[in-house]
Structure 1
Amino acid sequence: MSSSKFQPLSMFSLTLGSLLLSQSLIANELNYRDQAQLHQIAKAVSAERIGQDIQTLVNFGTRHTLSETQSPTRGIGAARRWIKAEFERISKQCGGCLEVIEVSDVISGEKRIPNPTEVVNIIAIQRGAVEPNRMVMMSGDIDSRVSDVMDFTSDSPGANDNASGVAGTLEAARVLSQYRFNGSIVYAALSGEEQGLFGGKILAAYAKKQGWQVHGVLNNDMIGNITGINGVTDNTTARIFSEGTRVTETKEQARVRRFTGGEVDSASRNLARYIDTIADRYIPNLDTMLVYRLDRFGRGGHHRPFNDAGFSAVRIMETNEHYDRQHQDLRTENGRVYGDTIDGVDFDYAAKLTALNAVSMASMAWAPAPPTAVKISGAVEASTHFTWQQSSDPTIAGYRIYWRYTSEPQWQFSRDVGKVNQAILENIVIDNYTFGVAAISQDALESPVVFPGDVGAFE
């Protein structure tokens, strides 16, 4: 499983010309193997089913967190019962492969939830066969709102914000439940987002209490709009928001980071890079934009509570938002139409982003877990040294070291080092690059890249 000696990788001559040529060759030799099953998963996502689910959610009239809970046809209570029943129906079709549960808490005394209100998340867990406690999660928000955040009686269809995210989560469960994975996949329909991100806070606390190893939360909030208020219509791009350094970083970790780097290599950032790579390889006509920010300027989403808990989490969404279709009373003023109605949702685009989620989660769940305890050294040396913790995962075939120029957004160069727990890149000076390590399965599926130290750790 491991080597008692460092494994030197002598691949470069010492001339600058040879160095650049060698790096160019390595950049084109990332040892990538195309995965037919991931293409199949992408193709299996149905725009028609997503459209039907969005319509069903819209038909509940309002899904405001404070809305009706007893009615069988209106309000958030009816919506979450339908979502739970749908997860149970999906589970029945795969022989009971999903654990469908409610994760809830009573919230009160808050600005937007002044009176005791049960905030209920509907969760479906597809347990992995090898590491059932290792999780990757897709989430969408059940609740909706109009202009007044406390108005829980007016019609609030919330077609794009965020029936599209819930519909995508349901569709991902339909597709991925037909497969078995090494790690677990969690499908989460969260409540209370518009009132203060309470559903995410509740689930993040639950995940910690259960000891889940959450290696990625893919929060989908508005994945169906293709025409922005800027006049741009675009169904070929999407944004992935990711935080930089963890908000949970200690003063000592910040001190170390100041001298070793990693400001753009948190686990969340490398999760975003992973999803971006998946888009390039498996989702036709989709280019994802890596946005180096927690969320949109001054705004928030349901991935943030998971970031606050120290987990890697990102937001996936459309590129061009239409603010007339967000948080608006249904009305027409001076010929201008307001409201988040279903006619503003492009089902094919929502399916494309759902496929991105499904393929990303499948790839992570089939691949080994990201390496742990990754360390790097090489100050005032000609070479760079790596160590990481030996894993007991039987699916691991080896490890891959990645590096890039510090100013580059994506990994440029890589080298397989075998089934070891330490290695050396000879004549690659640590000062000039950013580095990371990924685990590779016997089927050539790989984990997200882990930047060395506490900054980049997934656990």
Structure 2
Amino acid sequence: MLVKRLFITANLVVLMVPFLARGVQDSVQPSQRLDPTIQKIVSEISADRIAEIEKKLESFGTRNVLSDPTQPNHGIGAARQWILDQFKSYSPRLEVSFDTHVIPKRGRVWKDVEIRNVVAILPGKMKEATSRWIMIGGHYDSLNLRVPPEMRGDREKAAEIPAPGVSDDGSGTACAMECARVLSQYEFDATLVFVAFAGEEVGLVGSRALAKRLKEKNQTVQALLNNDIIGSEISGNGVIDNRRVLVFSEDPNDSPSRQIARYVKKIGERYYPEMNVDMIFRYDRFGRGGDHTPFNQEGFPAVRLTTPNENYANQHTPTDTFENTSPSFAAKVTRINAAAAASLAMAPKAPVTSRPAPLPGSDAAIAAAAAAELEEAAPRPPQTGPGLSRGKGYDAVLRWEYPDPEPDLAGFIVVVRSTMSPDWEREIWAGNVKEFTLKNTSIDQVVFGVKAVDKGGHESPVSPYVLVPRAR
């Protein structure tokens, strides 16, 4: 009874939050009706086209990154050239190129090898579009671990054995390509990037190299939606489930990646209610990883979309074929991707609820350290946020920053949830203001966030109010 009572109390705090904000009458909340453009985008995703892509990828025999890249119709080289040509055929507005890296011999990479991610960029129309990338990806390389005994001493021959890799991960590649085909017919505020990653099967080497390169260039990635194994609706034990997709996101509970997972769930289910988006609160399947992992490690928000029904008997074998996959299921997951990516690219940027800590040795850092010495509790690392305070003692006062607002910005929505809740439970229209007060509301018992919304009703991801852990 104690647990139940605590849960009810926490939710009552959320449900009974009073509505009071300075300047709340300054603007009118835009309608949250469905955007007809996004509805049209979702309807244009084709299961037949996804099937065609999967069959073509299977036809290359293998897409092992260590296979012969010079063959015109077989192996990794033929596959990546075909993907490049397909991207180019979708729209002249797509900027298509190879993202090339030389990977030295190590681990599963038994020789120095050149790998090529295939990248298609759809530039956004806003002036800050180059600093806001929304990415959709899947890996096009494949692997067959069932090497015949007579080839186990000959790595060159072993790299050429059939590795169809249709579910893992021709399905994710098909998702990225089909999204590129459809979305490239529209204009967006932010930049959309479609990627077919190479080298996932030999240690995430392609995504790792690209993430590192983007970090070095100070590129802002608002989200990576990584699709890996979205081609199967039947698990190895016979369970069929074609109404759910899993979205994995890294801890902690209010990490940027977790906010993207919540966004994918909300927008995906709004525009494609035939599917349930189930959030899984860990970075990937137990003890495993994917091409979103290096992006997380470089500080970019990234999530993995995958089937709830893996068939382990087919993975990395010659039986991961088109016959053993479901393009209709892959199309459903692709519609979730398209809706979420389009909404992100149409939406305003997210508000700033906290700023980075001042540089060590700076005046701000010295002042913060001096102030910390006056605290009886252990001091926090120097920082200037979050913008959450108690007001006169018993209120919740939220402040945020929003430099260079978009011309169509309508205002901001404050979101609230219990500390035990996986998702936001209440939304409150704050108006076009940068401060919001909830009277008689404890900041200790709930979690707060804020998001921007434009006049068309497109919402940014939530910026939560979080603290840096205390120094121990």
- Alpha-carbon separation, structure 2, partners of 1:324 and 1:75: 23
Displacement, 1:22?
A: 4.8
Do the aligned partners of 1:139 and 1:190 also contact (CA within 8 Å) in 2? Answer: yes
What residue in structure 1 maps to residue 40 of structure 2? 40
What residue in structure 1 maps to residue 273 of structure 2? 284
Displacement, 1:378?
A: 2.8
What residue in structure 1 maps to residue 64 of structure 2? 64
Task: State the TM-score, normalizing by the size of structure 2.
Answer: 0.82
Task: Give the 3-state SS of the residue equivalent to 1:438 in structure 2.
Answer: strand
Aligned positions of 1:340-379 closer than 5 A: 340-374=320-354, 375-379=386-390
What residue in structure 2 maps to residue 397 of structure 1? 410
What residue in structure 1 maps to residue 393 of structure 2? 381
Displacement, 1:279?
A: 2.3
Deviations, residues 143-171 of structure 1 (Å, cap 9, x unaligned): 00011596311100001100011111110
What residue in structure 1 maps to residue 289 of structure 2? 300
Do the aligned partners of 1:436 and 1:449 also contact (CA within 8 Å) in 2? Answer: yes
Larger proportion of strand: 1
2:129 corresponds to 1:132: yes
* CA root-mean-square deviation: 2.4
Note closer, same or farther for the CA distance 1:307–1:143 as it changes in structure 2 (3 Å cut). same
Letter in 1 for 2:333: L
Displacement, 1:23?
A: 5.7
Task: Give the 3-state SS of the residue equivalent to 1:358 in structure 2.
Answer: helix
What residue in structure 2 maps to residue 174 of structure 1? 181
What residue in structure 2 maps to residue 147 of structure 1? 145
Range with bigger deviation, 179-188 or 420-429: 420-429
Task: Give the 3-state SS of the residue equivalent to 2:304 in structure 1.
Answer: strand
Displacement, 1:24?
A: 11
Deviations, residues 361-404 of structure 1 (Å, cap 9, x unaligned): 00000001111244232359311122222231223211111010
Letter in 2 for 1:161: D
Give percent identity, aligned residues only.
Answer: 38
Aligned positions of 1:58-457 closer than 5 A: 58-91=58-91, 96-130=92-126, 131-133=128-130, 134-147=132-145, 151-244=158-251, 263-328=252-317, 330=318, 339-374=319-354, 375-379=386-390, 381-392=393-404, 393-453=406-466
Note closer, same or farther for the CA distance 1:226–1:19 as it changes in structure 2 (3 Å cut). closer
Task: Give the 3-state SS of the residue equivalent to 2:117 in structure 1.
Answer: strand
Range with bigger deviation, 358-367 or 150-159: 150-159
Displacement, 1:112?
A: 1.0
What residue in structure 2 maps to residue 50 of structure 1? 50
Note closer, same or farther for the CA distance 1:223–1:455 as it changes in structure 2 (3 Å cut). farther
- Alpha-carbon separation, structure 2, partners of 1:278 and 1:60: 36
Letter in 1 for 2:116: V
Q: After TM superposition, where is structure 1 displaced by more than 6 Å over at least 4 residues in a row? A: 16-21
Note closer, same or farther for the CA distance 1:359–1:387 as it changes in structure 2 (3 Å cut). same
- Alpha-carbon separation, structure 2, partners of 1:420 and 1:17: 27
Do the aligned partners of 1:265 and 1:455 also contact (CA within 8 Å) in 2? Answer: no
Larger Rg: 2
Range with bigger deviation, 309-318 or 383-392: 383-392
Task: Give the 3-state SS of the residue equivalent to 1:348 in structure 2.
Answer: helix
- Alpha-carbon separation, structure 2, partners of 1:390 and 1:25: 22
Letter in 1 for 2:320: D
Letter in 1 for 2:460: S
Do the aligned partners of 2:260 and 2:461 also contact (CA within 8 Å) in 1? Answer: yes
- Alpha-carbon separation, structure 2, partners of 1:402 and 1:324: 44
- Alpha-carbon separation, structure 2, partners of 1:231 and 1:40: 34
- Alpha-carbon separation, structure 1, partners of 2:468 and 2:451: 15
- Alpha-carbon separation, structure 2, partners of 1:235 and 1:30: 34
Note closer, same or farther for the CA distance 1:143–1:21 as it changes in structure 2 (3 Å cut). closer
Deviations, residues 254-280 of structure 1 (Å, cap 9, x unaligned): xxxxxxxxx311010010001011122
Displacement, 1:40?
A: 1.2
Do the aligned partners of 2:30 and 2:456 also contact (CA within 8 Å) in 1? Answer: no
Do the aligned partners of 2:19 and 2:428 also contact (CA within 8 Å) in 1? Answer: no
Letter in 2 for 1:354: T
Do the aligned partners of 1:396 and 1:441 also contact (CA within 8 Å) in 2? Answer: yes
Do the aligned partners of 2:30 and 2:454 also contact (CA within 8 Å) in 1? Answer: no
> Could you list the runs of 5+ residues in structure 1 that have no partner in the other structure?
1-15, 245-262, 331-338
Do the aligned partners of 1:226 and 1:235 also contact (CA within 8 Å) in 2? Answer: yes
Range with bigger deviation, 393-402 or 264-273: 393-402
Task: State the TM-score, normalizing by the size of structure 1.
Answer: 0.85
Do the aligned partners of 1:30 and 1:414 also contact (CA within 8 Å) in 2? Answer: no
Deviations, residues 210-255 of structure 1 (Å, cap 9, x unaligned): 33210100000011100001321111001000001xxxxxxxxxxx
Note closer, same or farther for the CA distance 1:389–1:75 as it changes in structure 2 (3 Å cut). same
Do the aligned partners of 2:87 and 2:120 also contact (CA within 8 Å) in 1? Answer: yes
Do the aligned partners of 1:214 and 1:311 also contact (CA within 8 Å) in 2? Answer: yes
- Alpha-carbon separation, structure 1, partners of 2:219 and 2:146: 37
- Alpha-carbon separation, structure 2, partners of 1:274 and 1:233: 26
> Could you list the runs of 5+ residues in structure 2 that have no partner in the other structure?
1-9, 21-28, 148-154, 355-385
- Alpha-carbon separation, structure 1, partners of 2:11 and 2:303: 39
Do the aligned partners of 1:30 and 1:413 also contact (CA within 8 Å) in 2? Answer: no
